Amino acid sequence: MRKQCEGSQAVAEAVALCRPEVICAYPISPQTHIVEGLGELVKSGDLAKCEFLNVESEFAAMSVAIGASAAGARTYTATASQGLLFMTEAVYNASGLGLPIVMTIANRAIGAPINIWNDHSDSMSQRDCGWIQVFAETNQEALDLHIQAFKLAEELSLPVMVCMDGFILTHAYERVDIPSQEQVDAFLPPYVPRQSLDPDDPVSIGAMVGPEAFAEVRYLAHAKQLQALDWIPRIAAEFGQMFGRDAGGLVRGYRLEDAQTIVIALGSVLGTIKDTVDELREAGLKVGVLGITSFRPFPLAAIRQAVQGARRLVVLEKSLAVGIGGIVATDVRMAIDGLPIKVNTVIAGLGGRAITKASLHRVLRQAMDEQLEPVHFLDLDLGIVNRVLERERAQRRTGPIPEQILRQVGAVASRIA
């Protein structure tokens, strides 16, 4: 059924259609509306046979999820930013134990300094933990990916993180098509665990594993993620047949056919990039877009295949590996190893700074003119940065950095963007 609603609401309805049995979450902006929506559905009885628990921290949220999933229940939670970090120990525990938990990450920057706006630093911080990570481009894809996520997780016995841009997607009203319960039931059968805590068949879960076997256990986790490289497209194809929509998959190309320059990105910024690329194409420039939907497992072969004809890649990412540069760009470089393709990293949108078509036009033209440095920070005010560094050279007690910068930036409340 088509409706116009908030992204969070759409996700809540999609998760509810998946018949979750235990939902346990702790509120954090910008995930709150998703969990509130689900809480209301459970309390009103619309979502039956579901336990909704208000837990005392994100660490508790993931821990309750671990217990519930290990006991055979289909389990869901959601978090962002600081919350994801606070539950990190449990996040690793869940994937290490092979529990098919599905979690929404409403992507938000990690502090300090505290920032509630969107970027990808939170899910990027957990890229090695063994969870599958998929990124939604639109609210429609966000809700579709959740339905696919439960199927994928339970097939592989691996937890899945569905990442959607905080505020930009979660709090945006747009048109979505919400499937029917019958459709979802036909696509997603009841959860049959590979392992579970059951007095009728006791097992010990979570024992210590020493040097004699740890490597094999970890390798198996890696091997399962590599299996996901096959399962993700398969499930996306099945989804397409059942629901009539293209959602999920490993990567999605746009106007790649004869592209000399390809822009690579994750998440909602792909929309703005596509509008920009259309305009560049009209101006005669051969530019294409590659959206990465599955970030973990990282689709090395699919990316290599998609970009091999290009001369240049511009990886636009909302993440920064402090001390080195890009995160996605580094993974992309691995995919094209050996090919004669140049890669530019453009770090943009940190802490929710808007990524505009105008800036994209400028930076893409610079890249195509070979005028762009290997790692470029979009719309960075270097003047401000240099003034802070200058001050630090001049005196010892400079005070907190954010304060120094904000003084230069001036009143923000009166700004439009």
Partner 1 sequence: MFQIRIHGRGGQGVVTAAEMLSVAAFLEGRYAQAFPSFGSERTGAPVVAFCRLDDKEIRLREPIMQPDALIIQDPTLLHQVDVLAGLRHPEGCILINTQRTFEEIGLGEFVQDLHPRNLVTLPATELSFKHVGRAVPNVPLMGGFAAICGLISIDSVVAAIQEKFRGKVAEGNIAAAREAYDIVKADLKEAGYA
Partner 2 sequence: MDAQIKFYQTGTFTVGNRLLAPEQRSVQADMERTNSLNSGHRACQGCGEALGARYAIDAAMRASDSQLIAANATGCLEVFSTPYPETSWQIPWIHSLFGNTAAVATGIAAAMRVKGRKSVRVIAQGGDGGTTDIGLGCLSGMFERNDDVLYVCYDNQGYMNTGVQRSSATPPAARTATTMAVGKEPGNPFGQGKDLPRIAMAHGIPYVATATVADLRDLERKVTKAMAMHGARYIHIFVPCPLGWGAQAQDTIKLARLAKETGIFPVYEAEHGEITQVSKIRHRVPVEEYLQPQRRYAHLFGKPPLVATIAKIQELADCNIRRYGLLEAEGS
Main-chain phi, psi angles of 260, to 5 degrees: -95, -35
User: In the numeric block, which tokens belong to residue 9?
Assistant: 């609401």
User: In the numeric block, which tokens belong to residue 120?
Assistant: 């990808």
Q: Which region among 85-93, 304-312, 323-331, 393-401 touches partner 2 (by CB under 8 A)? A: 85-93
**84 lies in the site for partner 2, by CB under 8 A:** no
Residues 188-227 that bind partner 2 (CB under 8 A): 197-199, 201-210, 212-213
Among 25, 38, 41, 66, binds partner 2 (CB under 8 A): 66
**381 lies in the site for partner 2, by CB under 8 A:** no
**69 lies in the site for partner 2, by CB under 8 A:** yes
Asked whether the CA dihedral 30, 36, 37, 38 is positive or negative, the reply is positive
- Minimum distance from CB of 332 to partner 1 (Å)? 22
Residues 339-378 that bind partner 1 (CB under 8 A): 352, 354-357
**Which partner in partner 2, partner 1, none is near 357 (CB below 5 to 8 A by kind)?**
partner 1
Q: Omega before 297 cis (within 30°)?
A: yes
Main-chain phi, psi angles of 110, to 5 degrees: -100, 135
Q: Are 18 and 189 in contact (CB under 8 A)?
A: no
Q: How many CB atoms lie within 10 A of CB 377?
A: 16
User: In the numeric block, which tokens belong to residue 133?
Assistant: 């990570």
- Minimum distance from CB of 54 to partner 1 (Å)? 24
**253 lies in the site for partner 2, by CB under 8 A:** no
Give the count of residues interacting with partner 1 (CB under 8 A). 29
Query: Beta strand pairing status for 160-165 and 102-107?
Result: parallel
Calculate helix-pair angle for 328-335, 300-307, nearest 10 degrees. 70
Residue type, 242: M
**44 lies in the site for partner 1, by CB under 8 A:** no
Q: Are 82 and 281 in contact (CB under 8 A)?
A: no
- Minimum distance from CB of 90 to partner 2 (Å)? 6
**50 lies in the site for partner 2, by CB under 8 A:** yes
Is 212 or 390 the residue whose CB approaches partner 2 more closely?
212
Q: Are 26 and 56 in contact (CB under 8 A)?
A: yes
Cα-only R_g, the chain: 22
Is 55 or 405 the residue whose CB approaches partner 2 more closely?
55
Residue closest to 84 by CA, chosen among 163, 15, 17, 194: 163
Is 153 or 273 the residue whose CB approaches partner 1 more closely?
273
**116 lies in the site for partner 1, by CB under 8 A:** yes
Is 274 or 312 the residue whose CB approaches partner 1 more closely?
274
Interface residues with partner 2 (CB under 8 A)?
21-22, 24, 49-51, 53-57, 59-60, 62-73, 75, 89-90, 93, 97, 197-199, 201-210, 212-213
Interface residues with partner 1 (CB under 8 A)?
3-4, 6, 116-117, 167-168, 171-175, 268-272, 274-275, 352, 354-357, 413-417
